Amino acid sequence: MTSSTPRKPVHLAVYDTFADWETGHATAYLARAGYEVRTVGPDRELVKTIGGVRIQPDLVLSDLRPEDSSLLILTGAGLWETGDELVPFARMARAFLDAGVPVAAICGATAGLAREGLLDDRKHTSAVSFYLAATGYKGGERYVDADAVTDGKLITAGPTEPVAFAREVFRLLGVYEGDVLDAWYRLFHDSDPEAYAVLEAAGQ
């Protein structure tokens, strides 16, 4: 793991119908690594996840600046499919990537990025290729059938791959590397008991 030098926060986008299960591994272990995780909502009103959990956003999307962040995480939500309410989050992802700050999108958020044109020229993945094709985007030839994909500063994953999604986040930010990263993935994805020994030896 990298040193405990203070880092810029990680920003987790939250909105109604937020898919609870998709970011737990990533945010929990980012916090353990010394990152502050701050939630960002469309406004300061409580949001309700798909599981019924209520979250009070730490800040409003319009106040977020890429230069103040280490990473923007966008999760799936029913709202990605029902209108334009979450378009500002996709536009913020564009601002982050233009500024060279990482973005990690999973599940429905990948469709939001596709509609914004952010997947036209980057390798990416999602639930299935035809899910993104339905957005009318131009990046179909760059779709990769994989658990999670990193292209430069952008990470994408489908809804069934929260552990692989976290793995790519840790790799990109340097939280875990090499054998330790592999062991972390094997532990949480495969329940591999041998991975415990690797993590314990590394002090994790």
Tell whether the torsion through CA atoms of 77, 79, 85 and 88 is positive or negative.
positive
Q: Residue 128 corresponds to which tokens in the numbers above?
A: 């299935």
Q: What letter represents residue 9's amino acid?
A: P
User: With b meaning 16 or more CB within 10 Å and e meaning fewer, what string describes 92-130?
Assistant: bbeebbeeebbbbbbbbbbbbbbbbebbeebbbbbbeee
To the query of whether residue 181 is one of the catalytic residues in this protein, the response is no
Who contacts 54 (Cβ-Cβ below 8 Å, separation ≥6)? Answer: 46, 47, 48
**Using CA atoms, how far apart are residues 81 and 99, in angstroms rounded to an integer?**
27
Marked catalytic residue, from 107, 154, 164, 166: 107
Contact 118, 97 (CB under 8 A): yes
The one-letter amino acid at 169: V
Give the residue numbers marked as catalytic. Answer: 107
